[in-house]
Amino acid sequence: MLPQIISGINSKEAKINASSLLDDFNLLNIKDSYPNKMSGGEKQRVAILRAIINKPKLILADEPTGSIDEFNKDKILYLFKDIVLNYDTAILMVTHDNKVSQISNKILKLVKGKII
């Protein structure tokens, strides 16, 4: 809710919007959980939802799956695909993980300071 409240949306509407977004991505069951009670993957997905709640046109993601297990990595990759397809948001992602890069529409590689 915080990004919405900061942008001037009242807390009642922000709560509705946050709950709706959590529901869209099957995370409604953790809406009242404190971060110390959430898994690393749940925290990461909530952070991504926090980034899209104000409907940005672009998300910059630096190694978004770098510190989570394979199961949660797949969930985040699915989440990114869904965001791009259904939320009118582009994602510019930096990764060293070939699996992560394979979900992209376009891949640019940086080798010795040159884009390939």
Q: For residue 3, what pLDDT band results from cuts at 50, 70 and 90? A: very high
Residue 36 has pLDDT above 90, yes or no: yes
Rounded Cα–Cα distance for residues 109 and 26 (Å): 33
Looking at residue 19, its pLDDT comes to 94
Residue 15 has pLDDT above 90, yes or no: yes
- Report pLDDT digits (tens) over 75-108: 888 889 999 998 889 999 999 888 888 888 899 9
Greater model confidence, 116 or 33: 33
**CATH number of this structure's domain 2-115:** 3.40.50.300
What is the Cβ-side half-sphere exposure of residue 23, based on CA atoms within 13 angstroms? 6
Listed by start position, the domains of the chain span 2-115
